[in-house]
Amino acid sequence: MKHEHIARAQWSTYACVVTALIALAGCNTTMQQKDVPPEVSQRLTPIRDQIADLRNQIQNTSAAAGNLVQTPQNDLTSQIDRLDNQLGELKTGLQTGRAKVESVDAATQTYFVNWDQQLKTMSDDMAKAGGARLQQAEATYTKLKTNMYAFRDQVRPYMGELNEAVTYLRTDRTKSGLSAVEPKIRQALNRQSTMMSQLDELTAEIDAMQGTR
């Protein structure tokens, strides 16, 4: 009876280990749902880094704009200057990001073309299997680009609205002048939560493509 009890305990432990291994295998399978070649995924690291910078820059710009409309000083000059400087940093960050995206996109499109050309030299069954993988990788990458464009469509008016407010306040640096541009500033600030969500989604997509999420 004692030996039977020990055998059951050993079997129970073995079953738990097997179950855990199966669960881990399942997690790995899920992680591979956005599996793309490293020639695509690893190129995205500079873009991911830039996304983090842009997130901080947008937060700093919105903080400067919020400070201006919520707690205006008697002399608005320093607050206007602060907002203008943050907008300048954000503009530089966006230009840097665009250059990185264009560079990565050019290299990635060349990689996809070469992949397609290689498939044309292979047997029908290999070309079919490889073609399915190519389509999967292209679809994942295209979705990432689409979400980048969605962010661009939010950040452009955000920048435009705040720049217009600063330009006006350079001429009418008064409380009444601030009241005139406040709706424009608040309109821009209302875009922040959407842009933050878009940047978080882009980061999550890149992490999934790189197998870190």
Q: pLDDT by residue (tens digit) across 9-21?
A: 444 433 333 333 3
| Closest residue by Cα to residue 62 from 172, 194, 151, 150 | 194
Alpha helices of the chain — where are they, by DSSP H?
Answer: 2-31, 38-41, 45-70, 77-119, 124-171, 175-189, 192-210
Spatial CB neighbours of 105, under 8 Å, sequence gap ≥ 6: 145
State which fold the 37-210 domain adopts. Answer: Methane Monooxygenase Hydroxylase; Chain G, domain 1 (1.20.58)
Yes or no: say if 36 and 141 are a contact pair by the CB < 8 Å rule.
Answer: yes
pLDDT (tens digit, 9 = 90+) per residue, 93-139? 999 999 999 999 999 999 999 999 999 999 999 999 999 999 999 99
Domain definitions of the chain by residue range: 1-34, 37-210
pLDDT (tens digit, 9 = 90+) per residue, 1-58? 544 444 444 444 333 333 333 333 333 333 345 678 999 999 999 999 999 999 999 9
